[in-house]
Amino acid sequence: MMAKRIIYTDPSSGKAVVVTPSPRFTCEQLIADAKLNPVPDGVSHQIIEDTAIPTDRQFRDAWEVDGVTVKEDVTKSKTIAHEKRRKDRYKEFKPHDNTISLSIPGADATAAENARAAIRTKYTTMQTNIDNATDIAGIKTALGG
């Protein structure tokens, strides 16, 4: 027997909400009980099998309710991927930025600038690959995973 979930679109954020009932209640019991019902008043919901929900949560904030399934929106996933790319790039730049900006004695500024150039190239290529991706798998490949 497959587990069921309640799905709906959050009216304020537009994101998919997936409700997993506790073992004490079924989805149907939650919906039927006014005190337990997790769905906001007036919001349409579906009860679906958990197999209709992506198992990979990397782009969880890009999930959308699509009828009786939850899918990953490619455009929103690209935005999430670019945010990750920027954070990773910042982390790689940081030690080289310190060498350049602080003129650390004994540190090779030329080597730091060469490393920064390589990092810029790496993340520019990644940005292009994310932008050119046509599906979630392509975005994950662009991120290196």
Contact 18, 53 (CB under 8 A): yes
19-28, 51-60, 103-112: range with lowest mean pLDDT = 103-112
Listed ranges 13-17, 76-80, 99-103; the one with the highest mean pLDDT: 76-80
Q: What average pLDDT does the segment 11-35 reach?
A: 94
Same domain, yes or no, for 90 and 117? Answer: yes
Determine the residue type at 142. Answer: A
Q: Which of 15, 128, 134 is nearest to 82 (CA)?
A: 128
Q: Which of 33, 52, 72 is the last residue of a domain?
A: 72
Write out the residue range of the structural domain in which residue 64 sits: 4-72
pTM (2 d.p.): 0.74
Contact 53, 70 (CB under 8 A): yes
Q: What's the structural domain count of the chain? A: 2
Give the Cβ contact number of residue 73 at 10 Å. Answer: 19
Determine the residue type at 98. Answer: N
Q: Which of 20, 42, 72 is the last residue of a domain?
A: 72
Mean pLDDT of the chain: 90
Give the Cβ contact number of residue 75 at 10 Å. Answer: 7
Determine the residue type at 5. Answer: R
Same domain, yes or no, for 68 and 102? Answer: no
Same domain, yes or no, for 68 and 84? Answer: no
